[in-house]
Amino acid sequence: MAAIEVILVDRYDRPTGRMEKLEVHEKGLLHRAVTVYVFNSRRELLLQQRANGKYHCGGLWSNTTCGHPFPQESTQHAAERRLLEEMGLRLTLHPVFELSYNLPMGNGLIEHEYGHVYFAFSDELPKPDPQEAEGWRYASLGDIQQEVQAHPERFTPWFLYTFTRIPAEFKQFTTQRLAG
């Protein structure tokens, strides 16, 4: 299997180079990432349970999908590609916000990412790749918030970070999109 390279960036998301994905996570270098949240018409979020075989955070619940753009790939295309690869969904994605985080994964790996966050809306049921996701479920934001507070160890660190830092515009954007 060929090594997968990711895009190294500065704090303004300007590319500074490229490096193999595992090495980037071992060194904790800032790199570009994508995060996707898919909502259904009941305003529930599609959560993914990561496959146990993943090199970090296996078995934990997370956002619908996430990943890294390849060098020379747009974040929009990367988000669409990962959604299709992981969850078998081909949807129209909407860029919503960007954020940066530096989070230890507990196994010597670090997620130091400049993340581009996208949302999609669909009632289509996912067909996950078992190498990527071993489970999925829809849940309301309120139910997720309660579960996150009661059992944060069940979720990926980046999901805990992005979910708790969703700006007020997120809820407004979601409500407007689902109403329209």
Catalytic member of 57, 66, 80, 132: 66
**C-alpha distance from residue 78 to each of 15, 70, 116, 147 (Å):** 16, 7, 10, 29
Query: Could you give the angle at the alpha carbon of 114 between the alpha carbons of 134 and 130, nearest 5°?
Result: 10
Task: Yes or no: say if 76 and 93 are a contact pair by the CB < 8 Å rule.
Answer: yes
Query: Is 113 labelled as part of a ligand binding site?
Result: yes
How much is the CA Rg of the chain, to the nearest whole Å?
15
Catalytic status, residue 66: yes
Catalytic member of 57, 80, 113, 132: 113
Distance CA 143, CA 127 (A): 23
Query: Is 86 labelled as part of a ligand binding site?
Result: yes
Query: Is 31 labelled as part of a ligand binding site?
Result: yes
What letter represents residue 109's amino acid?
A: L
Distance CA 145, CA 56 (A): 23
Three-state SS for 164?
A: helix
Distance CA 111, CA 106 (A): 10
Query: Is 111 labelled as part of a ligand binding site?
Result: yes
Q: Any idea which residue has 């990962």 for tokens?
A: 82
Point out the annotated binding site: 25, 31, 68, 86, 111, 113
The residues carrying an active-site annotation are 66, 113
User: From the annotation, which residues make up the binding site for Mg(2+)?
Assistant: 86
Binding-site residue positions for Mn(2+): 25, 31, 68, 111, 113
